[in-house]
Chains A and B, each alone.
Chain A
Amino acid sequence: MNLAVSKRVDWEGQRTDWRDRLYRFYNSQAFVAFLFLLVPVLLLAALKIWPVFYNLYLSFTRYELFEPPRFVGLKNYKYVFTNKTAFQSIINTLLFTIEAVPVGTALALIIAKLLDQSIRGRVFLRTLYYLPVVSSVVVSAMIWRWIYSPQHGLLNYFLGLVGIPPQHWLNDPNLALISLVIVTIWGSIGSNMVIFLAGLQDIPRDVIEAARVDGASPVQSFLRITVPLMRPVILFVVVTFTIGIFRNFGLIFMLTQGGPFNRTNTMVWEVYQNVFGYLRLGRGAAISVVMLVIVLILTLISFRVLRERQGA
């Protein structure tokens, strides 16, 4: 085609040549990449990259929205680690994680293992276990508020059957956090189970079969073979689950609003309170930065462990 074009020297031919070059530019990899990436990359830069740095900047300022941010050094961080309520939110987040993650992860792994065999109705059962994940946090919270209701709630009714007096689940300082933990575990088993089911596909069947032939009980083979081989997947679930708890805002908003006596005041709630309650954006930013640092450390740990496994 190019040969034919270059042989023609008339006006018509020159135009074809010009068009040809334009087309080649339009069709170049760099231009098409620019065309395809412009909008997504600009949006992600504005929504994911710039905010990280601007948040960091805000954490060193006093900012109440009506006047420009004023630099205050480390004052906000000092506040986060010395103010009783703010520091309590860090402790509460960690407590929440410690109470929810081990139990929730273990349950999800056991259920995944049991569903990972050719039993009847496994697809149906899997769907049932996954339903709480599909339901929104607002709907889940609403249902559980009704279940936890002191007078006519389902939970107190069941406890009454075995002679336990009714509890004020969400208003009792000693029970509020554990009540949220129960909802969180219920809501996360499905998604963690799906990840475990995917991970279980990679475990060679013949290893399990060999153990069975050698006389290992199902429990032994689970503890000695499945759990060690699934270590990276377990770690992945622990990290994503923990991050999910750090992000868990809706449940606290709907069920306890951080109370009673700050017992369910987690970091994400503390950020929300500072920013949209008291209009202290600098303090909120500082708490967010602390949150982000914890999340990043957890993620990096998981990457490291995953890489070690792949390298071995």
Chain B
Amino acid sequence: MATLRANTDGTFSRREASLPLILTYIFLIIGAIVMIMPFVWMVSTSIKPDREIFGDSIRWIPTELDLQNYSDAFEQTNMPRLFVNTVAVTAVAVASQVLLGSMAGYAFARLHFRGKMLIFFTLLTTMMVPFEVLIIPVFLLIKFFPLAGGNDILGQGGTGLINTLGGVMFPNFVSVFGVFLFRQFYLNFPKEIEEAAIVDGCSRVGVYWRILIPNSKPVMGTMALFAFLWSWNDFLWPLVVVKEDSLKTIQLGLSVFDQEQGTAWAELMAASVMAVVPVILLYIFLQRFLVSGGLTSGLKG
């Protein structure tokens, strides 16, 4: 067996496949099959008629296509409603985290002011605190939110932001991770361009708006993708905040559907496919942002 091997100068050379290379391939391919098998199984189940799901042997490719499961799941979960809610919550989270992250990142990277290091390191410390640990105070904050949901100015008397989409959005307006991501990016941005603009009479806000924002597309892509994934896939917080069916996000609707339907696996898998496909598509198109921007810059600090 011979394979083509890419050389560093862009040419290809033919070489005999060594034993380690073959073993590498076997290991990686078996691993990849194990990793994606659950997804294949999900899709396979979602397009099968029930008698093939509960048959004696396993069929990966159904003998007949049954898309009834999709329309059933679509209606029973009230999928359009779930979609609208999730898109609204996610869009606000993405826009807000990008805007506030870049503003704060700019301030920490470029401006000098008293207490900068103190504020910066305080925020840095909060990165170590997982949200799950703070769920009680944040829940109380939302419940006793002043002047919302029948609350008075002291936050008493009503339900606050509980059972509202605003309550679902609130903890996702800003991420510390985003602030650091943008700060890191702006620190590496050439200072000379900004200085030239300031000499020419541009204000600092103008520099931010006209020079930094238009040049931040890669880091904005990274932030947007992370914010999208967090918000779209978020489960615990919507579970705690939302009670009403009409306000549920996709993840929440899906989890309840699961309990209601018991073993209607075909519908469950069809609903899962509908929930996961937008995320997978977005990931495939935007994965260069995820790999290049986010994780490496996070590591090297």
Measured CB to CB, the residues of A under 8 A from B are 23, 26-27, 29-30, 32-37, 39-41, 43-44, 46-52, 54-55, 58, 107, 111, 114-115, 117-120, 125, 127-132, 134-140, 142-147, 149, 151-152, 154, 157, 186, 189-190, 194-195, 197-199, 201, 218, 233, 236, 243, 246-247, 249-250, 253-254, 268, 271-272, 275-276, 281, 284-285, 288-289, 291-292, 295-296, 299
Q: B70 an interface residue at 8 Å Cβ cutoff?
A: no
The answer to whether A32 touches B107, judged by C-beta atoms less than 8 angstroms apart, is yes
The answer to whether A119 touches B24, judged by C-beta atoms less than 8 angstroms apart, is yes
The answer to whether B255 touches A253, judged by C-beta atoms less than 8 angstroms apart, is yes
The answer to whether A299 touches B39, judged by C-beta atoms less than 8 angstroms apart, is no
Mark each residue of chain B from 58 to 76: 1 if its CB lies under 8 Å from any CB of chain A, else 0: 1000000000000000000
Q: B196 an interface residue at 8 Å Cβ cutoff?
A: no
Nearest-neighbour CB distance to chain B for A78, whole angstroms, equals 19
The answer to whether B251 touches A136, judged by C-beta atoms less than 8 angstroms apart, is yes
- Other-chain contact of B103, A36, A120, A147, A281 (Cβ < 8 Å): A36
The answer to whether B203 touches A40, judged by C-beta atoms less than 8 angstroms apart, is no
Known interface pairs A44-B176, A50-B137, A253-B255. Does A143 touch B38 (Cβ–Cβ under 8 Å)? yes
Give me 25 A-to-B residue pairs in the complex whose CB atoms sit less than 8 angstroms apart, sorted by A's number: A33-B116, A36-B208, A44-B123, A48-B134, A125-B32, A129-B35, A130-B283, A134-B283, A135-B279, A136-B232, A138-B251, A138-B254, A138-B255, A140-B38, A143-B272, A147-B38, A194-B295, A201-B296, A246-B132, A247-B131, A250-B235, A253-B235, A253-B255, A272-B135, A292-B130
Q: How many residues of B contact A (CB 8 A)?
A: 92
Chain B minimum-CB-distance residue to A118? B6
How far is B270's CA from A300's CA once the two chains are assembled, in angstroms? 44
Known interface pairs A128-B36, A250-B236, A285-B136. Does A41 touch B119 (Cβ–Cβ under 8 Å)? yes
Chain B minimum-CB-distance residue to A306? B301
Q: B114 an interface residue at 8 Å Cβ cutoff?
A: yes
Mark each residue of chain B from 2 to 38: 1 if its CB lies under 8 Å from any CB of chain A, else 0: 0111100000000000001100110111011011111
Q: B129 an interface residue at 8 Å Cβ cutoff?
A: yes
How far is B233's CA from A285's CA once the two chains are assembled, in angstroms? 25
Q: Which residues of B contact A54 (CB under 8 A)?
A: 137, 140
Q: Is the interface of A mostly helix, strand, loop or mixed?
A: helix
How far is B38's CA from A296's CA once the two chains are assembled, in angstroms? 35
How far is B39's CA from A127's CA once the two chains are assembled, in angstroms? 13
- A198-B295, A268-B132, A275-B136 given. 10 additional CB < 8 A pairs? A40-B100, A44-B176, A47-B171, A51-B134, A55-B137, A135-B280, A142-B269, A186-B35, A194-B295, A292-B133
The answer to whether A51 touches B104, judged by C-beta atoms less than 8 angstroms apart, is no
Q: Which residues of B contact A197 (CB under 8 A)?
A: 291
Q: B219 an interface residue at 8 Å Cβ cutoff?
A: no
